[in-house]
Amino acid sequence: MATDFWCSSHYKRWIVDRATLRQTRADDLLYVDDPEYLDFLAIYFAELVAKLGKQLHLAQRAIATATVFFRRFYLKNSYCETDPFIVIAACCYLASKAEEWPVHIKNVVSDARRVFSQEPYNVKNFPSDNSKLAEMEFYLVDNLECDLTVFHPYRTLLALCKSVDGSEDPSAVQEEEAGEVGVGLSAEEGPRYWGTGEGQLELPPNGLQTAWFIVNDTYRSELCLLYPPHLIAIAAIYLTCIFHPATHETVAAVLASSGAAAAGAGGPADPPPRRSSRQAAERKKPAQDPLAFLAELNVSLPLVATIAQEIIAMYTLWERYREDGAPEAGTPAKGTPDSRRDDEPGPGGATVSPTILTAVLTKMREARMQDYAHQLQSSGRPVAVNRMLERTQAAG
Amino acid sequence: MAPTRILPRNTGFKPIGQNSSSLRKFFPGDEEDMDASSDLSVMADPEPQEIPPQSTADNAIERPHLEKPMPIQPTIGPVNEDTSLLPSSPLAPSRGSSVVMEEEPSEPTELQTARLSPQLQTPRQLDLDTNDTGASTPSVQTRSELYAILSQVGEGTFGKVYKAQNTVTKLHVALKRIRMESEKEGFPVTAMREVKLLQSLRHENVVRLYEMMVSNGSVYMVFEYMDHDLTGILSQSQFTFTDAHLKSLCKQMLAGLAYLHHKGVIHRDIKGSNILINNRGELKLADFGLARFYQKRRRSDYTNRVITLWYRPPELLFGATIYGPEVDMWSAGCIMLELFTKKPVFQGNDEIHQLDTIYRVIGTPTPDRWSDVANLPWYELVKPRDEIPNHFRDMFRKWMSQPALDLAERLLCYDPAARATAVQALEAPYFTQEEPFAVAPAGLATLQGEWHELETKRERAKKKRKNDIAIQ
């Protein structure tokens, strides 16, 4: 089976470990005051991709793909040596094509100019020429090694669980959003690979929606480079069981009742014959135990727990990332971004805004440019001059 | 053995964490005087691969024209592939011949040296490379020299197809160049679809995409090399196919389609030149430039401007935009007949004439043959004027056996819902009961030359030119 994840370039080439990921930021680390800014930049860029993507009316899946393209591009390049803004535009444009969500190049250029020229980004030199974007797209394709199929957690989410919202049925929309069947794990192939094949987990109203939003949020981190998407989906379901009130209630209820049952009967009734369990499930639905469902999946639960931890860590970091002008809840009052930057060179526990990050990014890029110029003076030119001298001397 | 296994995987591959020097050239553009620094980056870069050996290679490609004593030299200039193909004014004959010379392997020595190299200078390349053309010396094993182009073998939906040789393994491959410079919209969507589809498909009856390669401003798809295509091989007379061979070809085509449809892919351009055959007698489906993933459960709206006219099913000619894999099965039926008759069966000039041609063979569609026909968008516009009876069996009896006729008839069924699927077709008595059973035409290895539609067309064009000259 060639369309499945395990045979894909996504799995074989584009899942990296932490050490590699750290290594790819080595150049940027030389030019940033506090390494934590790089983590914030990861959020900052994801927000920008999402902003431009929404402006272009891209599907969530296309925005997710654009974000993954962006992250993969920066596995091989550094922020300080490139212009992340045109890279973002190219990622959105390429993703719109790769996900069959076509937008015109002209619109990408004009929308990108509009979005990026706003405060706090203030990018005034974004090329107005379509060919510049087309050219960047070419380099992007080159750097992505023509691997344009990206797997996302959304399809796993839909394969594993369903919402019991009686009224509206968002699944049709989400089905559309999750992508064409052939691209990913198709519904009939999916469960056999990593599931138990024993039906889907039923989440209370909005439970699936919550898991869906958690998945959306994971793109603000670099998790998509570190872990396979189906594990991220499972971690999102797990977190839904904890954070989503209605889902948490069912989990708590099941835990309580199973605790009581275990206390009472001592367990032998636990593995009943299949048929009767199904009948039981039909009789009273809430009996389904989400945690047991997750436990039965053929995946590494410690790994899922790790991912869940990393998602929580991302949220903790994101808490401190605040759009400019957004009300600040619970944190001590702060001065203007500039004055604070003077006070403390690093973010050091305080909140960070796009304005600050734009300044950090600009500073990084300028410092890199200066170094270039410096290298040029110290080594580049003289060599050329010397060669010319040698040549003239030889001729003379 | 795939050529990719020999050299470091994927020629375009940069180890993660390393910078791309081509990009470095792109980005410092924020500052005007970064030319020199990009020079530096080239010098500092230990990898020679970004340095295009362009000046020499370009000369090699253009030399044929320049060496030829041309009467009107200035207008010929550096021949641009697009414009040179346009027959223009009084110059046409001389230009035409020079182009043929360039493209045909008539001078293999010249072409051997023409490594995969920029034949067309895109504006951006000129921009980027002006600085280092002088300094760069083409090194021995740049990635652009991994493949040496031998000849052109075809014209795809979005670019030319070349036969090339891996300079290390000596294996032949087909290189399909994705045209970027003519695309105002950047990377062509059709190419992207084909890449994504082929990367996810693997079947003995679907052409293998070995790898993707980026070289000097172009993206190349590297395919396994196939010696012939169906149109070409049916037009030659050296090798005669037995009934067992034809059955094998038909079966392989259907097996390929069954796999595609199982994978949720509609090919949408099944025709002779997209069906490739190698000297071992293996048949593979190619050119997925029009193919799409489709939702198995839900029918989606697509364009009906797909499939080459002669192989286009009646529902598309009647304007249907909601369709599924059945469209491929009609084309397969056309191909099946073509295997026996050696030429396309329904050769219409336009949509209306195409329907007429079909009516004349299998009769006009009636409500009992095709209940939904009257509901199709263009039915009132193109519906048959007179009723024509079905002559199909009378016309093809002399070529085909009863079971073969039965299967062809089920593939060329008017009603898409009743048309045989690829899996059903493979279970037909033609394959499972009738003797002789399928035998791959392995004897093709003895065949002289390679037969592609392109060569057949050229041959025809050459003859026509000769005739024209003779008439003059």
Residue B23's pLDDT is 55
B17 to A380: CB separation less than 8 angstroms, yes or no: no
Question: In the prediction, which pLDDT does B436 show?
Answer: 93
Across the interface, do A383 and B39 touch by the CB < 8 Å criterion? Answer: no
Nearest CB among A97, A143, A369 relative to B192 is that of: A97
Q: In the Cβ-directed half-sphere of A64, how many Cα atoms lie within 13 Å?
A: 26
At residue A327, the pLDDT reads 53
For B267-318, the pLDDT digits (tens) are 999 999 999 999 999 999 999 988 888 876 666 778 887 888 999 999 999 9
DSSP of B157-180? TTEEEEEEEETTT--EEEEEEEP-
The pairing of beta strand B265-266 with beta strand B218-224: unpaired
**β partners of residue B215:** B218
In tens, the pLDDT along B318-329 reads 999 999 999 999
Structure tokens at B64: 């044929």
Question: Taking residues B123-128, what's their average pLDDT?
Answer: 32
Whether B254 and B277 have beta carbons less than 8 Å apart is answered as no
Task: List chain A pLDDT tens, one digit each, 396 residues.
Answer: 335 788 888 988 899 999 999 999 999 999 988 889 999 999 999 999 999 999 999 999 999 999 999 999 999 999 999 999 999 999 999 999 999 888 999 999 999 999 999 888 888 889 988 989 999 999 999 999 999 999 999 988 888 887 765 444 444 555 555 554 333 344 444 443 444 445 678 887 788 889 999 999 999 999 999 999 999 999 999 999 888 888 888 888 877 776 665 554 444 444 444 444 444 444 444 456 778 888 888 889 999 999 999 999 999 999 898 876 655 444 433 333 343 344 444 555 678 888 899 999 999 999 998 888 888 777 655 444 444 445 444 544
| Interchain CB contact of B240 with A (< 8 Å) | no
Q: What is the largest CA-CA distance in chain A?
A: 105
The set of residues, in sequence order, having a beta carbon less than 8 Å from that of A56 and lying 6+ positions away, is: A92, A96, A103, A107, A108, A111
Q: Is A385 an 8 Å CB contact of chain B?
A: no
pLDDT band at residue B105 using 50, 70 and 90 as cut-offs: very low
CB–CB contact A143 B23 (8 Å): yes
Chain B residues lying within 8 Å of A12, measured CB to CB: none
> B343 labelled as ligand-binding?
no
Closest chain A residue by Cα to residue B18: A76
Distance CA A80, CA A365 (A): 4
3-state secondary structure of B368: coil
Q: Tens of pLDDT along B247-264? A: 999 999 999 999 999 999
A-chain residues near B294 (CB < 8 A): 180, 182
Residues in contact with A168: Cβ distance below 8 Å, sequence separation at least 6, in sequence order: none
For residue B90 the two structure tokens come to: 């009084």
Alpha helices in B185-270 (DSSP H): 189-199, 230-235, 243-262
CB B197 within 8 A of CB B265: yes
Residue A120: asked if its preceding bond is cis (omega within 30°), the reply is yes
Looking at residue B415, what is its pLDDT?
96
At B146 the pLDDT is 85
Binning pLDDT at 50, 70 and 90, where does residue B52 land? very low
Q: Are A255 and A241 in contact (CB under 8 A)?
A: no
Cis peptide bond prior to A327, omega within 30° of 0: no
* B347 — pLDDT class (breaks 50, 70, 90): very high
- Number of inter-chain CB pairs under 8 A, A vs B: 144
Q: Is the dihedral of CA B383, B385, B386, B391 positive or negative?
A: negative
Q: What is the pLDDT of residue B245?
A: 96
Which residues of B are less than 8 Å from A77 in CB distance? 19-20, 23
In this predicted structure, what is the pLDDT of residue B461?
74
Paired strand residues for B427 = none
For residue A60, give Cα distances in angstroms to A176, A182, B461: 10, 18, 51
pLDDT of B169 over the 60 cut: yes
Q: What is the pLDDT of residues B27-43, one digit of tens each?
A: 543 333 333 333 333 33
As a whole number of angstroms, the distance between CA A214 and CA B192 comes to: 30
Instruction: For B377-401, give one letter per residue: b (16+ CB within 10 A) or e.
Output: eeeeebeeeeeeeeebeebbeeebe
Q: Could you tell me which residue, B83 or B213, shows the higher pLDDT?
A: B213
Higher pLDDT residue, A201 or B86? A201
State yes or no: pLDDT of B71 exceeds 70. no
Whether residue A63 lies within 8 A of chain B, CB to CB, comes out as no
User: What pLDDT does A338 receive?
Assistant: 40
Contact B190, B237 (CB under 8 A): no
Q: Annotated active-site positions of B, please?
A: 269
| Nearest C-alpha in A relative to B293 | A182
Question: What pLDDT is stored for residue B463 in this prediction?
Answer: 72
- As to burial, measured by CB atoms within 10 angstroms (0-12 exposed, 13-18 middle, 19+ buried), residue B364 is buried
Please give the pLDDT value at position A326.
Answer: 57
> What integer is the mean pLDDT of B364-371?
90
A169 within 8 A of A193, measured Cβ to Cβ: no
CA-CA-CA-CA torsion for B72, B74, B79, B80, nearest 10 degrees?
-120
pLDDT of residue A309: 95
Q: How far apart are CA B337 and CA B335, in angstroms?
A: 5
Higher pLDDT, B234 or B119: B234
Residue environment code for B336-362, b if the CB has 16+ CB neighbours within 10 A, otherwise e: bbbbbeeebbbebeebeebbbbbbebb
The predicted pLDDT at position B102 comes to 31
Q: Looking at per-residue confidence, does B92 or A57 come out higher?
A: A57
Residue with tokens 């056999």: A192
Residues 119-138 of A with CB under 8 A from B: 125, 130-131, 133-138
Alpha carbon of residue A59 to chain centroid: 15
- Give the whole-angstrom CA distance, residue B82 versus residue B416: 40
Query: Which B residues 310-369 touch A at CB under 8 Å?
Result: none
Q: Give the mean pLDDT of chain B.
A: 73
For the question of whether the overall pTM of this predicted structure is more than 0.80, the answer is: no
Residue B286 and residue B223 in contact, taking contact as beta carbons nearer than 8 Å: yes
Say whether A369 and B31 touch across the interface (CB within 8 A). yes
Render pLDDT for B427-461 as a digit per residue (tens, 0 to 9).
999 999 999 999 999 888 888 888 887 777 777 77
Which pLDDT does position B152 carry in this prediction?
Answer: 87
B160: β partners: B155
Q: How far apart are CA A86 and CA A128, in angstroms?
A: 11
Tokens read off for B71: 């009467």
Q: Which residues of A touch B293 (CB under 8 A)?
A: 180-183
The answer to whether ipTM exceeds 0.90 is: no
Nearest to B124 among A27, A135, A147 (CB): A135
Structure tokens at A284: 């009273």
pLDDT for the residue numbered B299:
67
Q: A115: which 2 tokens?
A: 């979005």
Please answer whether residues B187 and B178 qualify as being in contact, where contact means their C-beta atoms are separated by less than 8 angstroms. yes
pLDDT value at position B328? 97
**Cβ separation B19–A97 shorter than 8 A:** no
Quick: pLDDT tens for B188-223: 888 888 898 998 899 999 999 999 988 877 889 999
A78 reaches B (C-beta below 8 A) = yes
CB B106 within 8 A of CB B87: no
pLDDT exceeds 70 at position B341? yes
* pLDDT at position B425 over 80: yes
User: How far is it, in rounded angstroms, from Cα B114 to Cα B95?
Assistant: 20
Test mutation, A5, A15, A141, chain B, max B CBs within 10 A: A141
